[in-house]
């Protein structure tokens, strides 16, 4: 089934607080049981992986109930329903929504923001439609969307450059990952006769005791790398007296190429396709820069709770 929204969790949690004191930990399983969630649904995580979706949504539901004065903290990590909370249960016997909470006097002041801003906290539109995600999920989902768009733009720009540019880009990525050597030494023999298709070399260690040969294939995204290309690369490594290599492409490797490498041989070869390459570029900031940094803070419960 579809996971309950954090709005869906508001009334069930408030009902639980009317029966006994609750905590963020104790409401999680009963709410999950109420909506008959499977083990897989209960373990599903938010984009960052820092918590499960249900931990996020029940946690935010409790935050909203607290901001509205419907529950209040009574001891370390424990919350209890208030008189206002009991009134809300009677007033809204079916469901409590974010729109309902905004009718509470002092709602905007409780968030430390004006009405226009608070109206957007935790909801996807201002028409009172059902909210799916918690605020932190919306932030992380937005960041992931921007990252996906950036990945597409990065690949478009790679394909617009020359093959030589791509060869240097690949070496920049590997050096940023911590492989030894410099960009100049790694690309020292690019384009030289007798390189047998090798586009660069990097050191596995800082002293250069073990070298890794690199081949870069700037292909159209729909043109796969086949087994023959991989075999030819391995042959080039043997010709150079090297037993390790990295083959990087902007496209992808077909199943025959992948299976050939999976079988293993005396020559160790790592295959990096276009998707993996772009991910490495984003991770190590090659061809991209930080446009904005947003710091998201959360309450340190341990600091405010009594021993």
Q: From first to last of the 307 residues of the chain, give the pLDDT tens digit.
A: 578 988 999 999 999 999 999 998 999 999 999 999 999 999 998 877 778 999 989 988 998 999 999 999 898 889 999 999 999 999 999 999 988 999 999 888 887 654 444 444 444 433 333 456 677 777 777 787 788 889 989 999 999 999 889 988 999 999 899 887 666 665 544 555 445 568 888 887 666 678 888 999 999 999 999 999 999 999 888 888 888 999 999 999 999 999 999 887 788 999 999 999 999 999 999 999 988 887 777 767 666 655 4
Residue 232: strand, helix, or coil: helix
The CATH label, of 3.40.50.1820, 1.10.10.10, 2.40.50.140, 2.160.10.10, for the domain at 10-129 is 1.10.10.10
Give 145's Cβ-side CA count (13 Å radius): 6
- Read off the pTM: 0.61
Q: Domain residue spans in the chain? A: 10-129, 156-283
Question: For residues 271 and 258, what is the distance between their CA atoms, to the nearest angstrom?
Answer: 8
Q: Do residues 187 and 200 touch, judged by C-beta distance below 8 A? A: yes
Kindly compute the dihedral angle of the four CA atoms of residues 280, 281, 282, 285, in this order, to the nearest 10 degrees: 120
Q: Which fold has domain 156-283?
A: Trna Endonuclease; Chain: A, domain 1 (3.40.1350)
Question: For residues 266 and 249, what is the distance between their CA atoms, to the nearest angstrom?
Answer: 23
Q: Do residues 249 and 273 touch, judged by C-beta distance below 8 A? A: yes
């Amino acid at each position: 089934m579809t996971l309950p929204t954090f709005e869906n969790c508001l009334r069930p949690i408030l009902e639980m607080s009317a029966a006994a004191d609750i905590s963020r930990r104790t409401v999680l399983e009963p709410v999950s049981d109420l909506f008959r969630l499977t083990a897989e649904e209960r373990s599903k995580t938010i984009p960052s992986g820092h918590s499960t979706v249900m931990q996020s949504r029940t946690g935010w539901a409790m935050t909203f109930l607290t901001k509205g004065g419907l529950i209040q903290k009574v001891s370390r990590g424990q919350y209890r329903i208030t008189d206002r909370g009991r009134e809300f249960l009677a007033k809204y016997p079916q469901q409590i929504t974010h729109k309902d909470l905004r009718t509470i006097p002092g709602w905007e002041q409780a968030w430390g923001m004006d009405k226009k801003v608070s109206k957007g906290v935790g909801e996807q539109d201002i028409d009172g439609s059902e909210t799916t995600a918690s605020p932190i999920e919306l932030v992380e989902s937005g960041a992931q969307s921007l990252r996906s768009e950036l990945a597409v733009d990065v690949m478009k720009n790679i394909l617009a450059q020359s093959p030589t540019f791509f060869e240097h880009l690949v070496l920049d990525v590997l050096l940023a990952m911590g492989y030894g050597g410099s960009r100049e030494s790694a690309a020292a023999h690019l384009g030289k006769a007798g390189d047998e298709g090798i586009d660069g070399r990097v050191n596995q260690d800082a002293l250069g005791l073990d070298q890794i040969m690199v081949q870069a294939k700037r292909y159209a995204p729909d043109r796969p790398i086949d087994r023959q290309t991989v075999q030819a690369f391995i042959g080039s490594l043997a010709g150079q007296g090297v037993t390790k290599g990295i083959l990087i492409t902007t496209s992808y490797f077909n199943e025959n190429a992948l299976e050939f490498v999976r079988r293993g041989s005396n020559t160790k070869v790592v295959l990096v396709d276009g998707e993996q390459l772009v991910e490495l570029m984003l991770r190590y900031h090659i061809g991209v820069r930080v446009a904005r940094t947003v710091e998201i803070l959360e309450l340190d419960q341990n600091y405010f709770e009594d021993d």
